[in-house]
Amino acid sequence: MYRDGRVRVIIALHDKARVAAMAYTVIWYGKQGIVEKVPFDAEKAARHHALATFPARREVDGIVAVEVRKEGGTVVFSKAGGS
């Protein structure tokens, strides 16, 4: 039982640390709603990914908009439509 308890605590702490590290999410939208969510550690990396990938995803996947959101849900960047 003691060993079992330790394993659970270690896994719970590991999972919380992993989730907390992903503070930003890039959300890709198609005409029918959310297509994909991609986690990032930093806002700058998430924003760069969204800007760099948007034109190709618009053409290939039919993406109509992209957002970068903080962990709490606040939108920090968005792009829709044109080039």
pLDDT by residue (tens digit) across 24-76? 999 999 999 999 999 999 999 999 999 999 999 999 999 999 999 999 999 99
Domain of residue 27 covers: 22-80
State in Å, rounded, how far the first CA of the chain is from the last one: 59
pLDDT of amino acid 28: 97
Whether 11 maps to a domain, the answer reads: no
User: How many domains is the chain partitioned into structurally?
Assistant: 1
- DSSP-assigned beta bridge partners for residue 33: 30
Give the phi and the psi of residue 16 in degrees, each rounded to 5. Answer: -65, -40
pTM beyond 0.75, yes or no:
no
DSSP 43-82: HHHHHHHHHHHHHHHHHHH---EEEEEETTS-EEEEEES-
